[in-house]
């Protein structure tokens, strides 16, 4: 289904009754009779035809999809949106028991429950966005085959709707930190907390870029959809989610810097707990890498959307 550029075409008008020349000219002029003009959608002409201005025109539709995605996740469940709170608490409790109590992994001196909760909230946002956006074409093929709108509307709405859940979970984290503070536990919020929007933006960029990249490839290679779930689980263990970078042997710590998500996860812990190993330079490199991933993903997505209805 062609989907990119827009041109205005004037239909041919046939009259069964004699009309004056001036009347016919007014009837055929789209400026005087706009109902006669229609929009013809044509495929993109270049790798960088991203149509960002057109995407902005669909901002209201993005809002509708955001609400749909947020509400439909736990539709027809007993607890509903409360699962946004219950899931991270249960997962954090399991991490605390398994990795702190049983495995004895270091938490850099931070309370284990808070340490794992910070990492779990950040990682859940990234992994959920990546998994959802990677299924954009396949999961919405029926809708995309019937009506045209900018195809990036759906993955962007998924990232934003998951951001709402992230905000709720971040609020729960702050509430738990208040409980710890009232219990006499010393906590250390640092100035890095002001960088929280940037940290979230980097996670969202990696999830969106990586997700639409996989989405573009799965239109032809469905096996990748199965590899995404396994790959995300594997990636969690090579990212400092359940352990700090300082827990790695000194001679292997350089491998952590190869993972662009490492500075982001460590940045969250530095911000809210005052523990972690990250520098502004590492965060800046991660940000630039995110822009590159997002650009490559958008290019692939733009090229594949021209013909995805023929392959999905």
pLDDT digits (tens, 9 = 90+) for 67-89: 887 777 666 666 667 777 888 89
Q: Do residue 3 and residue 122 come from a single domain?
A: no
Whether 252 and 116 map to the same domain: the answer is yes
Same domain, 295 and 227: yes
Domain region containing 256: 51-311
For residues 30 and 151, state if they share a domain.
no
Number of domains the chain is built from: 2
pLDDT digits (tens, 9 = 90+) for 93-104: 999 999 988 888
Q: Please report the pLDDT score of residue 187 as a whole number.
A: 84
Residues 32 and 172 in one domain: no
User: Which pLDDT band holds residue 108 (cuts at 50, 70, 90)?
Assistant: confident
Of 10, 27, 43, the residue at which a domain comes to its end is 43
Residues 16, 150, single domain; the answer is no
Residues 156 and 271 in one domain: yes
Q: What mean pLDDT comes out for the span 128-142?
A: 82
One-letter-per-residue 3-state SS of the chain: CCCCEEEEECCCCCCCCCCCHHHHHHHHCCCCCHHHCEEEEECCCCCCCCCHHHHHHCHHHHHHHHHHHHHHCCCCCCCHHHHHHHHHHHHHHHHHHHHHHHCCCCCCCCCHHHHHHHHHHHHHHHHHHHHHHCCHHHHCHHHHCCCCCCCCHHHHHHHHHHHHHHHHHHHHHHHHHHHHHHCCCCCCCCHHHHHHHHHHHHHHHHHHHHHHHHHHHHCCCCHHHHHHHHHHHHHHHCCCCCCCHHHCCHHHHHHHCCCCCHHHHHHHHHHHHCCCCCCHHHHHHHHHHHHHHHHHHHHHHHHHCCCHHHHC
In a shared domain, residues 90 and 143: yes
Instruction: Answer yes or no: is pLDDT of 13 > 60.
Output: no
Answer yes or no: do 102 and 191 share one domain.
yes
Same domain, 210 and 149: yes
The percentage of the chain sitting over the pLDDT mark of 70, rounded to a whole number, equals 79
- Regarding whether 198 and 91 lie in a shared domain, the answer is yes
In a shared domain, residues 56 and 36: no
């Amino acid at each position: 289904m062609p989907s990119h550029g827009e041109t205005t075409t004037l239909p041919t008008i046939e009259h069964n009754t004699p009309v004056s020349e001036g009347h016919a000219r007014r009837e055929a002029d789209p400026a005087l009779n706009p109902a006669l003009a229609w929009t013809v959608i044509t495929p993109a002409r270049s790798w960088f035809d991203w149509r960002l201005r057109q995407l902005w025109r669909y901002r209201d539709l993005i809002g509708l999809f955001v609400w749909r995605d947020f509400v439909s996740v736990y539709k027809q469940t007993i607890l509903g949106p409360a699962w946004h709170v219950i899931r991270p608490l249960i997962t954090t409790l399991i991490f605390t028991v398994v990795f702190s109590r049983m495995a004895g992994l270091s938490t850099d001196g931070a309370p284990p429950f808070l340490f794992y909760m910070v990492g779990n909230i950040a990682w859940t946002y990234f992994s959920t966005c990546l998994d959802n956006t990677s299924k954009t074409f396949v999961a919405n093929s029926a809708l995309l085959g019937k009506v045209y709108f900018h195809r990036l509307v759906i993955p962007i709405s998924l990232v934003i709707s998951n951001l709402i859940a992230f905000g709720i979970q971040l609020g729960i984290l702050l509430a738990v930190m208040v409980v710890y503070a009232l219990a006499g536990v010393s906590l250390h919020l640092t100035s890095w907390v002001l960088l929280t929007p940037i940290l979230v933006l980097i996670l969202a960029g990696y999830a969106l870029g990586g997700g639409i990249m996989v989405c573009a490839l799965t239109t032809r290679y469905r096996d990748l959809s199965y590899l995404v779930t396994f790959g995300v689980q594997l990636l969690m263990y090579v990212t400092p989610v359940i352990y700090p970078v300082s827990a790695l042997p000194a001679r292997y710590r350089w491998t952590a810097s190869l993972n662009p998500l490492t500075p982001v996860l460590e940045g969250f812990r530095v911000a809210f707990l005052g523990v972690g190993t990250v520098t502004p330079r590492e965060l800046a490199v991660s940000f630039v890498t995110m822009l590159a991933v997002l650009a490559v993903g958008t290019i692939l997505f733009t090229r594949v959307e021209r013909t995805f209805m023929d392959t999905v």
